[in-house]
Amino acid sequence: MELTPEQRAIRQTVRSFAREEIRPTAREADETETFPEEVWDGLAELGLTALTVPEEYGGLDVDGLTYAIANEEVAYGQLAVATALSVHCLATSCIATFGSDEQKERWLPEMSDGRPIGAFALSEPHAGSNPAEMSTVARPEGDEYVVDGTKQWITNGERCDVVILFAKTEADDPGTITQFVVPKDADGLSVGKKEEKLGLRASDTTTLVFEDVRIPESNRLTPVGGGLSAALSILTGGRVGIAAQSVGLAQSALDLAVDYAGEREQFGQPIAEFQAIRHKLADMHARTQAGRVLTYDAARQLDGAEPPALAASTAKYVASEAAVDVTNEAVQIHGGYGYTKDFDVERLYRDAKITTIYEGTSEIQKKIISRELLG
């Protein structure tokens, strides 16, 4: 758990930004289902939109633990903002990891500055947990690919300018899944339905529809057939990011519950004096800290030679389930007030559930964990 002076400084800087700039906008952004663009610009000014970009392209190229800390603290302010940031970082990671020098030079310097915004298009209406079943096809035609298909659950779907696309080059062969980078303004690419969600309402989640979208061969990021393994590799790091966000969300709920328990009086004393409340807070702290330790351990392993599948899935599973439990208890401590929109724990409770679903459900994480254990 020991952090370097630089990591402690980043934690403090991002935590201050989360408290002073993100959290004050969170309630209105949630209610109006609009992303706070001024917050995004602030993230860019801090360099957070360049976390996974190599230094030669204007990025920070941070280590795994620093990446996790940044995600944790942004989520402390609002999970919707942290989700948008992490997906942008997934996109820059794909280009930085799999792109040619020319592709990196074309996209990464501006993406480091926060715009163009990136999106990650893997899931489909009938291919969520099993992306090998995707039906989107990028048909080779001369020195171009012609793309047809629909992608679903796309974070930054409305806001993005660059899409990391996964598609088969042969419709009936999952072994041909390939990764491409596609400009949002490409002819034939349109934004479909915007999802109405339980939580994470400030983050736009849409479908993306590809109809005869022509992209040049130079926009292919991986060799033909290399897309699925590339996606799974990148998502290992993404799961550590979601685990970190879950910890930040849980910590935010815990802090609010501690403050409320010290202020709210019943039967002539603060409710923090009652053992039932104290035990809840103790359990909430323990769950949050367990998630944090597992997340930091997995984050450190991101800098190794192989993606830490076991550690990443363990952290994501434990931290996301903890976020749901901790926010639930925070609402309970607030009583009837916790069920109203006047208190932030209501929003945190709604937001928490998605952490057990996106970038691999808890059930998928347990499948990965057991597979790694059994060999």
How many structural domains compose the chain?
A: 3
Is residue 232 located within the same domain as residue 370? Answer: yes
Please indicate, yes or no, whether residues 367 and 268 belong to a single structural domain of this protein: yes
Pair 69, 86 in one domain: yes
Sort 155 into a burial class: Cβ within 10 Å, 0-12 / 13-18 / 19+.
Answer: buried
Average pLDDT on 71-96 reads: 98
Q: Are residues 140 and 69 in the same domain?
A: no
Residue 324 above 90 pLDDT?
Answer: yes
Q: Which residue, 74, 90, 112, sits at the end of a domain?
A: 112
pLDDT value at residue 128: 84
Task: List the CATH number of the domain containing 277.
Answer: 1.20.140.10
Query: Based on the domain organization, do 190 and 257 belong to the same domain?
Result: no
Q: How far is residue 64 CA from its own chain's centroid? A: 14
Listed residues 55, 82, 112: the one ending a domain: 112
pLDDT digits (tens, 9 = 90+) for 96-135: 999 999 999 999 999 999 999 999 999 999 998 899 999 9
Q: Residue 25: which CATH number? A: 1.10.540.10
Same domain as 195, residue 170: yes
Strand partners, 155: 205
Q: What is the dihedral of CA 108, 109, 114, 119, to 10 degrees?
A: -10
pLDDT digits (tens, 9 = 90+) for 252-294: 999 999 999 999 999 999 999 999 999 999 999 999 999 999 9
How many other CB atoms are there within 10 angstroms of residue 45's CB atom? 12
* Cα angle value 259/12/2 (rounded, 5°): 100
| Catalytic positions | 359
Do 344 and 299 share a structural domain? yes
What pLDDT band is residue 236 in, cutting at 50, 70 and 90? very high
Residues 233 and 303 in one domain: yes
Which pLDDT belongs to residue 325?
A: 98
User: Quick one: 239 and 331 in the same domain?
Assistant: yes
Give the pLDDT of residue 320: 98
pTM for the full predicted model: 0.96
Domain limits for position 174:
118-225
For residue 1, pLDDT over 80 is answered with: no
